[in-house]
Chains A and B, each alone.
Chain A
């Protein structure tokens, strides 16, 4: 473990009464066999922004959930403003001035903003006086921190960025002195991120402590004063942000030199295998979630799709794979054109030689409760060789699964083990194995390495490049810009349901893609 001392940042905020706003000392937490936090000690200085980085599953969220009273630590102490405290529930945490903005917002969508703010902080059995008082107090808070929110609007009518402001306001209204934000930028566009950061700076200026949980190093460098790195449940490094850099943080996060470079030869692109022309998707509420999408993917190339999560990438994958119907436009798969309303579903897509590794593995790609062998035939359960007529022959299915597991190094190699009991990386390898087994001409891949350990990432990347080199067409959607840039031969950028631009691998830089993701066209780039 690096032994780096952290000193409070030299900020001009009023001198606090205590050296530390919050101290976590020797926190240890297990969930059954999973050791989520190992003897973690962290100290947050008052009037500062403290970053907490680490890969998925490093234990960041568990640690903060302990501080917020959602879980109790097995051992360790929590000190708030120098005094040891027992936090047995969110009530205690709130009472101690700790607030949290969860990754999934904790808002009642059918309530107004004001009702959400009031919840748990009503101050009396009747609502009428509480509403009047809250309105006054909240308006004052809004002015102090520059948090504009329409108090009488229904939460369900507000855009995500505003909902997040409601969450921050809620924490402040409940008297939060220490504010924890869990991956707050995952759902925001770059301008919204900038706005959020201005709010966080304002909070710091007013003497509040902010803990920012993220896995985006750029954000850490942009806004924090200190940063702690978690790996496999333990604190492995601490820095004053001014004294570190992204490479150093990245290395600390992964535990060795992080190398996202993928070895690959230049693409030898062949004929177009997959094309979309002016495709629109309209959801149940009548909102157009995918606007006028046109793209081509050629044999022997990987086309990457970059964008902030929730900007139409999911709809793009689902419409191409036949899971979502499209309202207008055409799809062309290996030369055959489909119009809106033509019969096209995932089974049909597979018959045409299009395979799909979906973004959300547990929600779509496997059935947790099934044995691995049954997850391994999902989508291919109608294949003739797996049975006779109506029947499924489990001997053949099991043999097939064992073969897939061998080829993609899925561990443990036990086709009868329940799918849920495999690690994320091994589940993903099983899914990749299943989808690549038939050498599909077109492969759609969403978030191939989300929740996957480093070793498996390299393996998965190699498989994708291998498939490309065998002349197949690959469309890759990923939230990890690094992954997109490392694998893609061409890059499409999506924003607000539209494909807003295309870059070749050579011209793609992080900043160019970033400003396109934010909806800034090439001309007005800063």
Chain B
């Protein structure tokens, strides 16, 4: 009994670790898409940021500087996305795809040239990474059955970015629904003409949203290479950006449901390694690939309306053109 409880605790523990980059990227997507700018480029921004963080941390030995570099790199891509989609009213999906492919190539080329390790960056020492924090009293309470061990194993012992990501969920909800900025953000994603005729600049608002998305993707990328991992590997995002997008859709473009979707995907990911070769009663051996594909299947089913309807912000994907 105790064994399976600890198995569950360790599962939950890895769920939070795996959910963090998804959540950060999904919240990035939240800001961008609620403002009416579709962001397929979460993947590319995260990848670029992961590389910038690892490279900077490798050169300077500082995880903090790495984080700053990650945010900077991601912001550059976000600005480019804004330039194409907001200033030049380009196709948002095409722009996102372009950024993803560019990031994939650029990180590999630069990584190879700078570190000559086949695209990887050197392994970062613990000092150049975000370390795990032991929360107050965690050691003391550890002995208490059930709750104490839950606190020690699941709540405590993550790095700062995990806590930041979790705290960003209520913060995002508050910003979106309780502030002037949030009101305008949601309005510009639904009906930009209403925002324009209210005397508010549509491009300025959308640029702000896109830059917030850049900031959050930057943190997500830094998490991958300098907190969860200890260095950059070629294409290390491996579809997490798309998965985050799927979580955002599954969460119907709302912060808390998006968090739940991220946790679900992360739990599936955590289970995957644990279920390898496990025979389920009645089902036989569950193919690992099925669990791997589960988030994508769920998203397709949801989008097809088999699990309730996901209605995107009305103006998303459409460049704003003043009409006569």
Contacts and interface: CB of A to CB of B under 8 A. Distances in A.
Interface of A: 61-62, 65, 68, 70, 89-95, 100, 102, 104, 106-111, 115-116, 118-122, 124-128, 130, 174
B200 A120 contact: yes
Given A61-B324, A115-B183, A107 B191 contact: yes
A120 B195 contact: yes
B219 interface: no
Given A90-B198, A91-B199, A116-B194, A122 B324 contact: no
Contacts of A91: 199-200
Nearest to A36: B324
Contacts of A90: 196-199
A27 B193 CA distance: 24
A125 B177 CA distance: 12
Nearest to B191: A108
Q: Which of B181, B195, B197, B322 has the most CB of A within 10 A?
A: B197
A95 B180 CA distance: 19
10 contacts: A89-B199, A94-B198, A102-B197, A106-B193, A109-B191, A111-B187, A120-B184, A120-B198, A122-B180, A125-B181
Contacts of A119: 183-184, 187, 194-195, 198, 200
A127 B187 contact: no
B199 A120 contact: yes
B190 interface: yes
Given A61-B324, A62-B324, A106 B197 contact: yes
Contacts of B197: 68, 70, 90, 100, 102, 106
B178 A126 contact: yes
A108 B187 contact: yes
Contacts of A125: 179-181
Interface of B: 177-184, 186-187, 190-191, 193-201, 314, 322, 324
User: 3 nearest interchain CB pairs?
Assistant: A120-B198, A91-B199, A122-B180
A107 B191 CA distance: 7
A108 B190 contact: yes
B183 A122 contact: yes
A211 B71 CA distance: 51
Given A120-B199, A127-B178, A107 B183 contact: no
A68 B194 CA distance: 13
Contacts of B183: 115, 118-119, 122, 127
Contacts of B186: 108, 110-111
Contact of B199 (A65, A94, A102, A110): A94
A100 B194 CA distance: 11
A60 to B, nearest CB: 11
A120 B201 CA distance: 10
Given A91-B200, A120-B184, 15 more contacts: A70-B322, A89-B199, A91-B199, A92-B199, A106-B194, A106-B197, A109-B191, A110-B314, A111-B190, A119-B187, A120-B195, A122-B180, A122-B183, A125-B179, A127-B180
Nearest to A69: B199
Q: Which of B179, B194, B322 has the most CB of A within 10 A?
A: B194
Nearest to A31: B324
A201 to B, nearest CB: 25
